[in-house]
Amino acid sequence: MIDTWPVDRAAAAVVTRDGGMRGEHGRVDEPFRLASVTKLLTAYAVLAAVEEGAVEPDDEAGPPGSTIRHLQAHTSGLAFDDDRVLAAPGRKRIYSNTGFEVLAAAVEKACDIPFEDYVREAVFEPLGMSETTLGGSPAAGGISTVRDLTRFAAELMAPRLLAPETVREATSVVFPGLDGVLPGYGAQRPNDWGLGFEIKGTKSPHWTGAGNSPATYGHFGARGTFLWVDPALGAAAVCLTDRDFGPWAAEVWPGFNDAVVAELG
């Protein structure tokens, strides 16, 4: 199926809860730019900082009244890619790269270590993600391979680095009922999100498949990349390409994801 996509390079894999690979395509050890799939890695590092007590969810960060938790859940009120404040904290889901940059800066300051080093030490090295780096923006500057990201997906399904209850909260809806815009798909009512993890919920159309459960969480990126975990299925899928997200991806991704669900269901 992927061979028919209008891309030059693509790699994908499916992994189950026990870490077993259920299928792979392409060069799964080849590095790709992640774009916003980076936010999943950043979010996990922030959760690690919370667990070790370096920061607290209710610590002030960002605009007045905003906290670490607001920034993680895209409810700080910050605009997508600049410092404008468009809403009071907790009032609207405004997807924000700037918010994640502020979030990473808060952890960097609290831990007294460059954030890219903190992510490497807290997440990449313990999971054996040796081909993954975070350069530039903590919102969109990651580079990784499908192989490394399946290791991360397996961690999400069976956490070893963090407490399972921490991961359950992060991958469940936070600040429920908030409306907002899902980039590439328009207004969503509600626009469900966890702590850095997008929740499928009732969104339609969506980049996952119609067969993915509402509890499915993950992220897609503007570089034509995605990672999702479906707790009901007990499996995750990772796909990285070299073509920017656009109508082509909105057309082919759901069919691919439905085929994965059908194969495993």
Contact 140, 36 (CB under 8 A): yes
Q: Where are the alpha helices (DSSP H) in the chain?
A: 38-51, 68-72, 97-111, 115-119, 125-127, 146-157, 164-170, 247-264
Contact 12, 236 (CB under 8 A): no
**Band of the pLDDT at 21, cuts 50, 70, 90?**
confident
Q: How far apart are CA 255 and CA 253, in angstroms?
A: 5
**Band of the pLDDT at 19, cuts 50, 70, 90?**
confident
Q: How far apart are CA 47 and CA 68, in angstroms?
A: 10
Q: How far apart are CA 197 and CA 121, in angstroms?
A: 21
- The predicted model gives 80-96 an average pLDDT of 97
Residue 19 identity: G
pTM score, whole prediction: 0.97
What is the predicted pLDDT for the residue at 89? 98
- Across the chain, mean pLDDT equals 97
What is the predicted pLDDT for the residue at 145? 98
- The predicted model gives 94-115 an average pLDDT of 98
Which CATH number is correct for 2-264, 3.40.710.10, 3.30.465.10, 3.40.50.150, 3.40.50.720? 3.40.710.10
Structure confidence by residue, pLDDT tens digits, 159-178: 999 999 999 999 999 999 99
Chain mean position to CA 10: 19
Structure confidence by residue, pLDDT tens digits, 197-251: 999 999 999 999 999 999 999 999 999 999 999 999 999 999 999 999 999 999 9
Contact 155, 166 (CB under 8 A): no
| Structure tokens that stand for 200 in this block | 């499928």
Contact 89, 63 (CB under 8 A): yes
| Choice among 11-20, 99-108, 116-125 with the minimum mean pLDDT | 11-20
What is the predicted pLDDT for the residue at 95? 98
- Percent of the chain exceeding pLDDT 70 equals 100
